[in-house]
Amino acid sequence: MIGVRIRTMPKRAVLDPQGEAVVRGLRMLGHDVVRDARVGRVVELVLDLDDEADALAAAERMCADLLVNDVVEYGEVELVDASAIVVGVGAGASA
Amino acid sequence: MTSVAVIVFPGSNCDRDAARALDDVLGAGTATLAWHAETSLDGIDAIVLPGGFSWGDYLRTGALARFAPVMGAVRVAAGRGVPVLGICNGFQVLCEAGLLPGALLRNDHLHFRCDEVPVEVASSDTPWTRAIAPGRTLQLPIAHGEGRFHADDAVLDELVRDDRVVVRYAGDNPNGSARAIAGVCSAERNVVGMMPHPERAVHAWMGSDDGALLFESLRLTLAAGSTDMNDTSELELTGAH
């Protein structure tokens, strides 16, 4: 099994009011160094695949089909240890 | 007898309101509730996708409703020219399904906004607005947290050029929508989506009865026996009801 992590972010041209609220909130708490923030979403999947290239390709198709709305978002896929996502699966799991 | 299907997704909460409004304006028995698992909408004259929070707004508003079996039937009907109206969450579903352009994002001020707002009808050239003179302002309720219409500039230019902006906010822009767009239609013009709730404004006691004009428009459209908007010569664009 292979884990994939899909990070979805609002496109740069898209206003991100949640990010702006985070900036205001942090600055109100005294974190004056905060200049900008963007808020996205992370989806982690455990795939019934063994080949890393297959897993990446499958995840890209899932982004196109459902996970990312390319009108307003972009997605980035990375491989992760499946056992870090769900206990009992992947390389770190005990039988 | 006119038959209009109101689609019910898990999490829809304006389905009964929409059905009641259709029955009140177009006659008792007009509306039929169609569960999301339906696979056929044969014999239906028009379709309404109501407001609510289908699938709990999980992932993105409207994103999961698009996989409901009934959406295949909606797509087929839309392709045949059947008038389709998506209200609020219904609009979000139609955008996610690719039946309308753009996307609806979190309001720019982050608040859920429940209000009655002036909405200008920008185009009468749809089955849902043909009884309303262009430029007429309607008082319609809004109730949404994610109603900020977004599309890239090329798409926005195309929508304006092709008269596909159906309604726009006439007063303050309540959610930060691009070009104050409150509703748009498909290239074929029979599929319309809008954030305001016409079904919540069909009697004077509701605060406004302007929403009834959209359903009156549907009556005119179906009476004309065609969704072809090219010939509107015999239609009375009074804007009154």
Average pLDDT, chain B: 93
Options B14, B36, B38, B88, the catalytic residue: B88
What's the Rg (C-alpha) of chain B? 16
Tokens of B41: 């909408």
Domains, in order of start, for chain B: 4-223 (3.40.50.880)
Q: Average pLDDT, stretch B171-193? A: 98
Give the domain ranges of chain A.
2-84
Q: In what order do the strands lie in the sheet with B84-87?
A: B31-35, B4-8, B46-49, B84-87, B191-194, B181-185, B165-169, B113-121, B137-144
CB B223 within 8 A of CB B172: no
Binding-site residues on chain B for chain A (CB distance < 8 A): 59-60, 63, 95-96, 101-103, 105-110, 148, 150-152, 176
Non-local (6+) Cβ contacts of A10 within 8 A are A16, A19, A38, A39, A40, A72, A73, B105
The pLDDT tens digits for B80-102 are 999 999 999 999 999 999 999 99
Q: What's the N-to-C CA distance of chain B in angstroms?
A: 21
How would you classify residue B150: left for phi > 0, otherwise alpha for psi between -120 and 50, otherwise beta? beta
* Interface test with chain B among A20, A71, A73, A74, by most B beta carbons within 10 Å: A71
Contacts of B120 (CB under 8 A, 6+ apart): B135, B136, B137, B138, B167, B168, B169, B170
Name the band, by pLDDT with cuts 50, 70 and 90, for residue A89.
low
DSSP labels for A5-34?
EEEEEE-TTS--HHHHHHHHHHHHTT-TT-
Interface ipTM > 0.85: no
- Per-residue confidence band for B238, with pLDDT thresholds at 50, 70 and 90: very low
Among B70, B47, B55, B65, residue whose Cα is nearest residue B192: B47
Q: What is the mean pLDDT of residues B161-189?
A: 98
- Convert the pLDDT of each residue in B111-150 to its tens digit: 999 999 999 999 999 999 999 999 999 999 999 999 999 9
Among B36, B38, B96, B197, which one carries the catalytic annotation? B197
Out of 3.30.70.2740, 3.30.1280.10, 1.10.3470.10, 3.20.20.70, the CATH code matching A2-84 is 3.30.1280.10
User: Residue A14: which of A74, A64, A57 has the closest Cα?
Assistant: A74
Residues 6 or more apart in contact with residue B107 via CB below 8 angstroms: A17, B113, B144, B145, B146, B147, B148, B174, B175, B176
